[in-house]
Structures are given as structure tokens and as C-alpha cells.
């Protein structure tokens, strides 16, 4: 199983913000955790309902192992602008493909929700 910290660390390594074994300052790690929790909740409105409940950094997340990389890639896309990082084309493709695969797994939303925008 994967922890929220592993997801965050993976995303930050994808963006070359940190290197393997390097730790984020605790305030940045907490900010990243808050963003990750919000992102995974928001996916429900887009048709990917992971039944996510907020977790702490070191808490194991109730997600399938094959969901980890799509979450890492999409979370990297989410935080890249805040860190002034350009989104590499290969990362964008992996994130998009991964989300599409999750959407196929969880099913398409029946209708868009009026007034909800991302």
C-alpha cells in the first residue's frame, strides 16, 4: 500500500523539485497533502470516485496499486505551476492517459454538474 507522502514525493521528483531521499520542509509537505486530499475529492465530480477520505502524510491510502502512478502524474501537473515548473509533454501524456484509464475503470459521469468548474 502507498502513503500520501509517497504520492507527494513521487510527484515532486517527477518535477525535479526534490531528489530521491530528499525531504520537503514540513510546511510544504503539509500544503502538498492538503492539495492532494482536495484533488482526490474533486475527482469524484469528474467521475473518478476513489471513496477518498483525508489522510495524514504517513497514513496508508486505500487505493489500488495500479492507481498510484496516475495519481502521482496528475498531482505533479496540479502543483507544477506553483513551483514554476513547466509541464513536460511526456508527463502530460502520462497524466492524461492515467486519468482516462481511471475514468474508464470507475465509469463516466452521467451528466456534468451545473456550476462546477475546475
Distances from the Cα of 2 to the Cα of 68, 70, 99, angstroms: 8, 13, 18
Of 3-7, 22-26, 30-34, 40-44, least confident by mean pLDDT is 22-26
The predicted structure's pLDDT at residue 105: 94
Helix (H, G, I), strand (E, B) or coil at 4: helix
Beta bridge partners, 14, equal none
In the chain, % of residues over pLDDT 90: 86
| Cβ-contact 5, 26 below 8 angstroms | no
CATH code for the part of the protein at 2-106: 1.10.3230.20
State mean pLDDT over 48-52. Answer: 94
DSSP conformation class of 61: E
Predicted TM-score (pTM) of the model is 0.88
What tens digit of pLDDT does each residue of 9-25 get? 999 999 999 998 898 99
What tens digit of pLDDT does each residue of 52-110 get? 999 999 999 999 999 999 999 999 999 999 999 999 999 999 999 999 999 999 986 55
Amino acid at each position: 500500500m502507498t502513503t500520501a507522502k509517497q504520492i507527494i514525493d513521487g510527484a515532486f521528483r517527477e518535477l525535479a523539485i526534490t531528489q530521491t531521499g530528499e525531504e520537503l520542509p514540513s510546511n510544504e509537505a503539509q500544503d502538498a497533502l492538503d492539495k492532494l486530499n482536495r484533488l482526490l475529492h474533486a475527482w469524484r465530480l469528474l467521475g473518478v470516485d476513489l471513496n477518498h477520505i483525508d489522510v495524514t502524510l504517513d497514513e496508508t491510502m486505500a487505493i489500488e496499486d495500479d492507481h498510484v502512478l496516475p495519481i502521482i502524474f496528475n498531482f505533479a501537473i496540479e502543483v507544477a505551476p506553483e513551483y514554476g515548473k513547466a509541464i513536460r509533454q511526456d508527463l502530460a501524456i502520462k497524466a492524461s492517459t492515467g486519468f482516462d484509464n481511471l475514468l474508464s475503470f470507475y465509469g463516466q459521469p452521467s451528466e456534468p454538474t451545473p456550476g462546477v468548474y475546475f
